[in-house]
Each structure stands twice: as structure tokens, then as C-alpha cells.
Structure 1
Amino acid sequence: MAVDIERLMADDRRRVDARLEALFTRREAPAPRLEAAMRHGVMVGGKRLRPVLAYAAGRALGASDASLDAPAMAVELVHAYSLVHDDLPAMDDDDVRRGQPTVHRAYDEATAILSGDALQTLAFEVLAHTRPARLPAMVTTLASAAGRDGMAAGQALDLEAVGGHPNLATLATMHRHKTGALIRAAVRLGGLVAVAEDDPRLQALEAYAAAIGLAFQIRDDVLDVTGDTAVLGKPSGADAARAKPTYPTLLGLEGADAKARALVDEAVTALAPLGESGYVLASLARYMIERDH
């Protein structure tokens, strides 16, 4: 069985982008500058990996593309909000994101804060309007991934770790919250569209997502050392410049790469209960550690 992951991702990117774009074109905005900043935060580039994972997980369990659109959009809106806030001067103070000025540089800091807030609440509005059978579980999944048990906690740990010397366990905890939580949510949301919470295949998806979430971040750490700024869409070497702890600093480049590959093997093994339906997800796992941006 073969799958063209780049083509699949491009198709899903076009699908979710069209639906995200509609959020900004089918209404008369009361605050046009805020609306423009929100659009800049979500529509300027991006791999759309989280929506792709939501689509792939749902399809693997029999869900239709139409039923997966809302969770795919919601998870990307939360991701976009997190990037807008992460780039702020009080956080990472980044000037470039996806090859374009960050929102606070393109507009201003106050507008960036408000646009991030609005993108996050828009995610739940989109999800709530779909009224799927398992909406409470889906809302809980996304809220937990975004909040004090997920990305917010991970960002707090990230800020606390600057200049420090955490061990591998501490670093993994930080990344499982900051990056991994939303990747796990994307996969779980897709699965919840198709099956009940007690379906063993959903548990398999969650084990898969936990492994690829950390593998994805390790690859990001490696690319920050080895990647090209023009390809990455943001300055390389930023982690070292900020004295941030990373997997390459603790394990070396070869060790970090080996750890990522071991996690991908773990993810693929977790997909066994899905049989051939898990093939696309397995291919996406391998993409995590082969990508160049």
C-alpha cells in the first residue's frame, strides 16, 4: 500500500483553508483591524499538520470529510492563537513567522493579544455549531489541550526552563504539554467524530498521538540547529540564542534523531488495532521526522 503524503497534506490543506477563509469572508466585522489581524495569524502559511491529523484519524475510523471539517478547523484555530501569543515580546519575542511578520509586528502588540484571544474563542464557536453526537467530549478534549493541563502549562514550563539545565524527563514533560497536547487533541477529535470514547481503536490513536507529538517536537529542535531559515520560515538557531533546553543539547544531533525514530516506531506499533486503515497515519508519523520545515 502506498500513499503520497505530500499530496494528501496539500489536498487537506486546501480543504481546511477554504473553510477557514470562509470564516473571514461571510460576515461584516465590527472591528476590521482585529479581523485582519486574526486572518493574518491563521491564513498566512502553515503546514496544517493538526487538521491533516484530524482528517486522517477520522477517516481511519470511517468518518466523512464533511463531518471532520469543524474539528479540523477548530484545532488549527487554537494552534494559530498559540503562535500569535508565543511570538509576543513577553514570550518568545519573534519578528517572523512562516516567512511573514508576526502579528504584533504587522499590527501592534495589543491587537495581537486580542486576535489570539478571538482565534481561541472562535475555535470553540466553530466546534459548538456542528453539534456532533460527542460534542461534550470534543469540547473537553480541545479545552484541556489548550489550557492549564496542555499548551498553557507547556508554555509556562518553557519560560521557566530558559537558561536552566533540565533532564530528559523534565524536557519531555514540557514538550508533551506545549506541543504534544494539541497534536493529541487533533487525533482524538478526529476519532471522536467516528467512534465512542470507549472504543479501543480510540485508545490506540491516543497512544499513537502521544508518540508522534514528542517526535514532532524533537524534529523541530533538530531543525532549529540544522535547518535553513528560508525553508523554516523563521530564524534558525533561535533556541540556542535564547538558551532554551532542547533534545540536541541533551542528546546531541544523532541521539535526538535516534530518539525521534524510536518514537515513530512506537507510534506505528500502536496503530496495530486499526489494521490497514492506519496506513496513512503511519505514513504521517514517518513524515514527522523526515520533514525539512
Structure 2
Amino acid sequence: MKEARVIELTNEAIASYYKEEIVSSDLTKAILYSVNAGGKRLRPLLFLLLLEGFGISLTEDHYPIAASLEMIHTGSLIHDDLPAMDDDDYRRGQLTNHKQFDEATAILAGDALFLDAFGLLATSSLPADKIVQLVKLLSDAAGSRGMVGGQMLDIKGEHQALEEADLVAIHSNKTGKLLKYPFLAAGIVSDLPKQDIERLGKAGQLIGLAFQVRDDILDVTADFSELGKTPKKDIVAEKTTYPSLFGLEQSISILNQSLDDALRIFEEFENSHQFDAQRIRTVIERLRLDA
């Protein structure tokens, strides 16, 4: 299936969830404001393309899984932009949720997306044991054992000179686990053995590292038109980043090496599982700075 169609069906899965049982139209408006603000849909796209790579034909049962992941991600962006967090006025080129509406509405919109994601995930008719695994996995990736825990480490790390191990702990949780999820989830849905799911998880971990290093680099090298948000925020917050710790040149090297290592894992899958890596390779290559 074409990539644009895959993204369209993921968006439709989210939109359909918010067409029914609306309690507060104001809340739904705020939720959809951020959901519809754009974004590459990288996480759901990785999940769905991985399934196709393993020869699985996408059905309506796969899109709630992909969409639930995007809902968690969007909720995290709403909260991340709040004054008590990163305090940004723009996201994806438009006013952040709390600037378009107000702080209380933005908090509730983020809360709703975090919780609604599991409601949508549960609508998939895949075998119940798989849904339970995916729910547990998504909770671990998003909550105190993953993204939210990493966000706390990130806040506590501001205005401090951190070591490499501290930086790895922040980013492997704040960013990495939610990017690792589509790889592990695809392995579960594809009925891969445990060791192969772990190899997919390693690829996801490498992609998560590359994504964060790239984000750190762009924060100091890109402008608003490229980022869609305020640049150089890490410098203002005195955050330890890959460029501040390793320098720009080595950070670029870390980014490229992480992507190369992830691509090698998929080359192995091509040989061992007749995995069609072409489309997933294209998505991964877009994370290079010169893409």
C-alpha cells in the first residue's frame, strides 16, 4: 500500500474515535487541533511498513494499533510545550495547544490522548493475547518506565553538566522507547520468535538514538521554518545534548552510525526471513541530515 494511503488510514482511525460519544466538544476541538497539525506520522508508519515487510496485508485491525501510538506521541507534544515543561509557543509551525486555547484545556487534551489511546487500541479484533501484550508494551513505553520517566530525568538534568550515561538514560526513555515500540509491536503481530523480536527492538533502539541526536543537532543548526518550533531551546535551558557533549561533527557521526547499524539488522532479516526492506529503508534514510 502507498505510504500516503497508510498515513491517511491512520489519521482516519484517530478521527473516527472522536466522532462518537463526545462529552465536551471544546475538548475534542483541542485534541483534533493538535492531531491535525501535521507531523510525519513516523511511529505508526514504521509499525505498518514493518508488517508489510514481513508479508502481512494491512487490515482495519492494524490501524488502531498504529493510531494509538500517534495519539500518545501527540499528547506528549502538547504537554511538552506547556510553560511548566519546555514552554514553547509553536509546534509544527502553528500555535501550541495552550496558546491556541489555554493551559487547562491543553493539559486535559494531553490527558485524553494518553488514555484514549488504549481505548482505541482495544477496538482491534486481533487475538486478545496480542492486544494484551501490546497494551502492556505501550504502557511501558509511554509511562513512568519510559517516556514520562525520561521527561522527568530531562527536567532534572537542566542547568547541569551531565555525563554520557545520564544523557543516554534520558533519551533512551524520553524518546527511544516510544520509537522502539513499533518495532517490538510489529514483531508481536507478525508472530516472530522472541529472539527476532529482540533484534527488531535493537533496530528500534538505534533509530530512537539517531532520531534524538538528529533533533539535538537541528536545534542548534536549523531555523524556525525548518523546525516548526522555536530553535536553540536546549541552549537556553542549558541542557546537555549530543552536540554540547560530543561536538557537532561527532554527533553527526553518531547519527549516521546508528542508522547504518539499524539498516544492517534489516539486511539480516532480508536474508533470514525474506523481509522486504525497501520501504523501511527509505523511511530510515530520511533521518539523515542530508536527506
1:291/1:47 CA distance change after superposition, 3 Å: farther
Are positions 1:158 and 2:154 aligned together? yes
Contact 1:29 / 1:35 at 8 angstroms: preserved in 2? yes
Aligned counterparts, 1:54-203, within 5 A: 54-66=47-59, 67-133=61-127, 134-196=130-192, 198-203=193-198
Q: CA RMSD in A?
A: 1.8
Partners in 2 of 1:106 and 1:168 — Cα distance? 37
Percent identity of paired positions between Structure 1 and Structure 2? 36
Query: Residues of 1 paired with 2:36 and 2:185: CA distance?
Result: 22
Native 8 Å contact 1:184 1:213 kept in 2: yes
Matching of residue 47 in structure 1 with residue 40 in structure 2: yes
Cα deviation 1:79-98 (Å, max 9, x = unaligned): 01111111111111111111
- One-letter amino acid matched to 1:62: G
Matches of 2:103 and 2:172, distance apart in 1: 28
- Bigger drift between 128-137 and 92-101 goes to 128-137
Displacement over 4 Å in runs of 4+: none
Deviation at 1:228, TM superposition (A): 2.2
The equivalent of 1:283 in structure 2 is: 282
Distance 1:288 1:161, change over 3 A: same
CA drift at 1:118: 0.6
For the residues of structure 2 that align with 1:291 and 1:181, how far apart are their CA atoms?
25
The answer as to whether partners of 2:27 and 2:105 remain within 8 angstroms in 1 is yes
- Higher alpha-carbon deviation: 41-50 or 187-196: 187-196
Asked whether the 8 Å contact 1:222–1:253 carries over to 2, the reply is: yes
Corresponding letter in the other structure for 1:215: A
> CA offset at residue 114 of structure 1?
0.9
Structure 2 unmatched runs, 5+: none
Deviation track 1:94-143 (CA, whole Å, cap 9, x = no partner) reads 11111111111111111111111111111101111113221111011100
Aligned to 1:228: 223
Does the 8 A contact of 1:204 with 1:270 survive in 2? yes
- Using the TM superposition, give the Cα deviation of residue 59 of structure 1 relative to its aligned residue in structure 2, in angstroms: 1.5
User: Is 1:256 matched with 2:262?
Assistant: no
Q: State TM-score, norm by structure 2.
A: 0.92
Partners of 1:153 and 1:28 in 2: how far apart? 32
How many angstroms apart in 2 are the aligned matches of 1:100 and 1:92? 16
Give the AA of the match of 2:265.
A
C-alpha displacement of 1:202: 1.9
Paired residues of 2:17 and 2:120 also in contact (CA < 8 A): no
Unpaired runs of 5+ residues, structure 1, are: 1-6
Deviates more, 1:67-76 or 1:212-221: 67-76
Q: Is the 8 A contact 1:58 1:194 kept in 2?
A: yes
User: What is the alpha-carbon distance in structure 2 between the residues aligned to residue 182 and residue 139 of structure 1?
Assistant: 13
Give the drift of 1:176.
0.6
Distance 1:219 1:8, change over 3 A: farther
**Counterparts of 2:58 and 2:247 in 1: how far apart (Å)?**
41
Contact 1:248 1:256 in 2 (8 A): yes
CA distance in 2, matches of 1:120, 1:18: 18
**Secondary structure in 1 matching 2:277:** helix
Given the superposition, is the C-alpha separation of residues 56 and 63 from structure 1 closer, same or farther in structure 2, using an over 3 Å criterion? same
- 2:8 counterpart letter in structure 1: R
CA distance in 1 between counterparts of 2:276 and 2:171 reads 28
Q: 1:206 aligned to 2:201?
A: yes
SS in 2 for 1:130: coil
Quick one: distance in 2 between partners of 1:29 and 1:98? 26
The answer for the alignment partner of 1:29 in structure 2 is 22
Aligned-partner residue type, residue 158 of structure 1: D
1:57-80 Cα shifts (integer Å, max 9, x gaps):
222223222232111101000001
Q: Does the aligned pair in 1 maintain the 2:161–2:240 contact within 8 Å?
A: yes
